[in-house]
């Protein structure tokens, strides 16, 4: 199987790639930093199992995301699994190359465009799967179109929550749209994980929460099951957690909100499709 993982050079993405490669899968690492991506590829190839390729992907730019998706389609023609893993937490206001709030742009909108561009490639597989990394932090956010570009006061937790809620709503929208097709969509909360997502937190804050974090191998096991496990072959539109409650907020249960965000997102990226 050909499996694409965004942000696969470190953290949960790398741990997932490692588990998949050990099972003989063909894993494509889609990463922004070429040096770190090559280092990750070398480590995985040293396992002498499976196959490991690299694709340059910068979700901070919709144009570069479009180019990456086109390269994937041209190079492979068919994709069996897409794991939308890459993400960041920004403690200060930053914008993407297209002027969107960075957490919304990288965590969600870039993945939205990538997914849209890769749907035809996924449809070439007799049984394709898309796995979206959401978070229990979606409870901290809501969908506010006037906040997509970070206007006004910047609350980093709200914006992170908005991006993770958007990830979950995308999974819900696609699960509805693609029901009965060869593609399933599911989302997960990885739990509190010792990964680079916390790299921008103040050191005292990170030190305080670190004691409660689990290794990246914990969510990686769940993601691997969702990607290739027989038990996930027919499951669609679910939200699960690696080791914590998987409660959905009222916003996350709102299917009309999922439909509305989907259409708003299509309007935002339409010139890149």
Catalytic sites, residue numbers:
160
- The helix/strand/coil state of 138 is helix
Backbone angles phi, psi at 6, to 5 degrees: -80, 145
Which phi-psi region, left, alpha or beta, contains residue 48 (left: φ > 0; alpha: ψ -120 to 50)?
Answer: left
Specify whether the CB–CB gap between 185 and 237 falls below 8 A: yes
Specify whether the CB–CB gap between 111 and 84 falls below 8 A: yes
**CA-based end-to-end distance of the chain:** 26
Contacts of 207 (CB under 8 A, 6+ apart): none
Which phi-psi region, left, alpha or beta, contains residue 50 (left: φ > 0; alpha: ψ -120 to 50)?
Answer: left
Hey, how many other C-beta atoms are within 10 angstroms of the C-beta on 153? 7
Can you name the residues that pair with 101 across neighbouring β-strands? 95
- The 3-class secondary structure across 51-109, one letter per residue, is EEEEEECCCCCHHHHHHHHHHHHHHHCCCCEEEECCCCCCCCCCECCCCCEHHHHHHHH
Give the distance between the most distant pair of CA atoms in the chain. 51
């Amino acid at each position: 199987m050909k499996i694409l993982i965004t942000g696969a050079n470190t953290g949960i993405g790398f741990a997932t790639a490692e588990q998949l490669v050990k099972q003989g899968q063909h894993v494509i690492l889609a990463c922004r930093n070429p040096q770190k991506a090559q280092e990750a590829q070398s480590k995985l190839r040293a396992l002498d199992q499976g196959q490991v390729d690299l694709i340059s992907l910068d979700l901070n730019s919709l144009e570069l995301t479009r180019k990456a998706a086109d390269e994937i389609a041209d190079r492979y023609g068919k994709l069996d699994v897409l794991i939308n893993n890459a993400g960041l937490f920004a403690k200060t206001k930053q914008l993407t190359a297209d002027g969107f709030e960075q957490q919304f742009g990288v965590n969600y909108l870039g993945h939205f465009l990538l997914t849209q561009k890769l749907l035809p490639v996924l449809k070439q597989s007799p049984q394709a799967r898309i796995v979206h990394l959401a978070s229990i932090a979606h409870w901290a956010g809501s969908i506010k179109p006037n906040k997509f570009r970070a206007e006004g006061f910047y609350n980093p937790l709200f914006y992170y929550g908005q991006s993770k809620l958007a990830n979950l709503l995308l999974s819900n929208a696609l699960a509805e749209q693609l029901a009965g097709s060869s593609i399933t969509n599911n989302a997960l909360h990885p739990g509190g994980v010792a990964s680079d997502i916390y790299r921008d937190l103040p050191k005292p804050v990170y030190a305080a929460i670190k004691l409660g974090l689990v290794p990246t191998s914990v969510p990686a096991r769940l993601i691997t099951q969702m990607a290739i496990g027989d038990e996930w072959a027919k499951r669609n539109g679910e939200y699960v957690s690696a080791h914590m409650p998987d409660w959905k907020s009222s916003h996350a249960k709102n299917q009309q909100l999922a439909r509305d965000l989907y259409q708003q997102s299509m309007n935002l990226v339409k010139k890149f499709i």
